[in-house]
């Protein structure tokens, strides 16, 4: 660990929660340099939905490199990009009756968010954007302005401009429909909240604590946007790519967003991000929004392989739902075993959160690491243990991981005297 402490910036984060030097990984298992094994319930924060070194993806990448396929190409046409575009159109968009143009942005989620916000402002000629409490959209300045958590924000960054934060589904309690609240603000010229170019939202807030927006709320949000001529941007960076049981997380609500940001697992584990937009919104001039790393051709090969391998039939999506049901059942059982500790279990598909009081969530994650598991926290106070295994995880490994968590929860509750 010495070189990391000596040379790497203090900004390093996950290395502190998971202090090991990791070496190799396969599927949902990671091994450190001493050969210790860890079950991965973190999946690169949603980047490794198809597991570490997925065999189909690795094989395609090796073959591509061996034939000296183009690796970097800015936004030039390549065979790899063509393969991705064809797979995405035929296997993802067309069967869902979605008509989107695809923009390749810089290869991280925040690049896609920046692009969406810029385009929305350009098209609507309005500077304001609305986001939601506990939302997370990235940490470059535009995306940061629509990210809620004040741990990341500082007045001095000047990154609070042209964005308003309004209450997400459930933020004001179960009795208050926050869409009514939003509609009131946006239709009253004296509310102090300007009608925005766009509203950006996650259907399930990942970093914010696994807060699931209801289908009804999402439909009402879409209607509000239509009524008031506001663009609806779904940030599907963490919840897309099958995480919630469908390829796009908004499919469950039957809505059609104007733009969708997609990153993380789209590149099959390699850096890649895209923005989907309704064709009328594609008002860019050639080269107007550019970037050196929009042509990560290795990611295109990985992405096309992932789509071809997992999305041509509904078998994979069904498996996600089946394993998600196991996660839900086990987590509800774990929570119910400790009736004296106020907890909450929430999620959909294969993303679940276990909220625990008084710092217990952090203790569970730390204890789990000692027992050979990588699992992270979510929520504004790190109060939620976040279950985000690879979608490809074997049932046996999934159950093994859940059993370790069950033990950890019992141990930390006993240690803390059941508070
Ligand atoms: N949006 C969402 C919903 C995210 O979860 C994240 C990353 N956690 C981002 C945007 C930013 O992505 P990146 O870290 O790749 O910039």
pLDDT band at residue 150 under the 50/70/90 scheme: confident
**Averaged pLDDT for residues 203-212:** 98
List the Cα angle 10/11/15 in 5-degree steps: 85
pLDDT band at 295 (very low <50, low <70, confident <90, very high): confident
CB atoms within 10 A of CB 242: 24
In this predicted structure, the answer to whether residue 196 has a pLDDT above a threshold of 70 is yes
pLDDT at 417 over 80: no
CATH class of 58-310: alpha beta
CA nearest to 391, candidates 341, 364, 352, 354: 352
pLDDT tier, 275 (very low <50, low <70, confident <90, very high otherwise): very high
Q: Is the pLDDT of residue 156 over 90?
A: no
**Extents of the domains making up the chain:** 2-53+314-417, 58-310
- Whether the pLDDT of residue 207 is over 60: the answer is yes
Atom of ligand 1 nearest to the CA of 236: 3
Q: How many CB atoms lie within 10 A of CB 383?
A: 20
Q: Give 411's Cβ-side CA count (13 Å radius).
A: 15
* Closest to 350 in 3D by CA, of 39, 14, 46: 46
**109 alpha carbon – ligand 1 mean position (Å):** 5
Alpha carbon nearest to ligand 1 atom 13, residue: 109
Residue 262 CA to ligand 1 center (angstroms) comes to 9
Q: In this predicted structure, what is the pLDDT of residue 419?
A: 52
By CB atoms closer than 10 A (0-12, 13-18, 19+), residue 313 is exposed
The answer to whether the beta carbons of residues 249 and 204 sit under 8 Å apart is: yes
> Where does the pLDDT of residue 206 fall: very low under 50, low under 70, confident under 90, or very high at 90 and above?
very high
Ligand 1 centroid – CA 202 distance (Å): 10
> Is 305 strand, coil or helix?
helix
Q: Which residues approach ligand 1 with their CB closer than 6 A?
A: 45, 108-110, 113, 136-138, 202, 206-207, 235, 237-238, 263
Q: How far is the CA of 214 from the centre of ligand 1 (A)?
A: 21
CA of residue 354 to ligand 1 center, whole Å: 21
CB atoms within 10 A of CB 281: 21
- pLDDT tens-digit map of 307-327: 999 999 999 999 999 999 999
Residue range 183-199: average pLDDT? 97
Confidence of residue 154 (pLDDT cuts 50, 70, 90): confident
Which CATH fold would you assign to the domain 2-53+314-417?
Answer: 3.90.1150
| 2-21 pLDDT per residue, tens | 999 999 999 999 999 999 99
The H or E element that residue 415 is part of is helix 395-415
In this model, does residue 293 exceed pLDDT 80? yes
- Average pLDDT (341-367) is 97
Show the tokens assigned to 415.
């240690």
Three-state DSSP at 209 gives coil
Mean pLDDT computed over every residue of the chain: 97
């Amino acid at each position: 660990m010495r070189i990391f402490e000596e040379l790497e910036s203090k900004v390093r984060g996950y290395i502190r929660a998971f202090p090991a030097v990791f070496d190799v990984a396969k599927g949902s298992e990671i091994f450190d340099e001493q050969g210790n094994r860890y079950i991965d319930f973190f999946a690169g924060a949603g980047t490794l939905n198809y597991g570490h070194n997925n065999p189909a993806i690795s094989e395609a990448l090796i073959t591509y490199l061996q034939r000296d396929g183009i690796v970097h190409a800015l936004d030039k046409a390549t065979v790899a990009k063509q393969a991705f575009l064809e797979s995405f159109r035929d296997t993802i968009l067309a069967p869902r009756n979605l008509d989107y143009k695809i923009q390749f942005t810089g290869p991280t989620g925040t690049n896609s968010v920046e692009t969406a916000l810029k385009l929305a402002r350009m098209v609507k000629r309005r500077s304001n954007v609305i986001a939601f409490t506990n939302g997370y959209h990235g940490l470059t300045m535009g995306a940061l302005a629509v990210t809620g958590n004040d741990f990341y924000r500082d007045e001095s960054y000047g990154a609070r401009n042209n964005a308003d934060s309004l209450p997400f589904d459930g933020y004001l309690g179960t009795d208050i429909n926050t869409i009514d609240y939003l509609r009131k603000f946006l239709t009253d010229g004296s509310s102090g909240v300007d009608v925005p170019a766009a509203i950006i939202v996650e259907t399930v807030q990942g970093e914010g604590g696994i807060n699931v927006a209801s289908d009804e709320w999402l439909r009402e949000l879409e209607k509000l946007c239509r009524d008031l001529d506001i663009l609806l941007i779904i940030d599907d960076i963490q919840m897309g790519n099958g995480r919630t049981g469908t390829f796009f997380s908004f499919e469950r609500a039957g809505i059609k967003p104007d733009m969708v940001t997609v990153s993380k697992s789209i590149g099959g584990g390699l850096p890649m991000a895209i923005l989907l937009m309704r064709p009328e919104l594609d008002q860019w001039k050639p080269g107007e929004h550019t970037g050196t790393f929009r042509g990560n051709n290795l990611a295109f090969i990985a992405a096309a392989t992932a789509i071809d391998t997992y999305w041509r039939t509904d078998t994979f999506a069904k498996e996600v739902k089946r394993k998600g049901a196991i996660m839900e059942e086990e987590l509800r059982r774990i929570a119910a075993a400790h009736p004296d500790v106020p907890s909450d279990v929430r999620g959909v598909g294969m993303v679940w959160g276990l909220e625990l009081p008084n710092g217990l969530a952090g203790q569970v994650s730390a204890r789990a690491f000692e027992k050979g598991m990588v699992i992270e926290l979510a929520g504004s106070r790190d109060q939620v243990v976040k279950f985000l295994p690879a979608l490809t995880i074997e049932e046996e490994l999934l159950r093994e991981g859940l059993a370790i968590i069950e033990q950890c929860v019992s141990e930390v509750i006993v240690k803390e005297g059941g508070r």
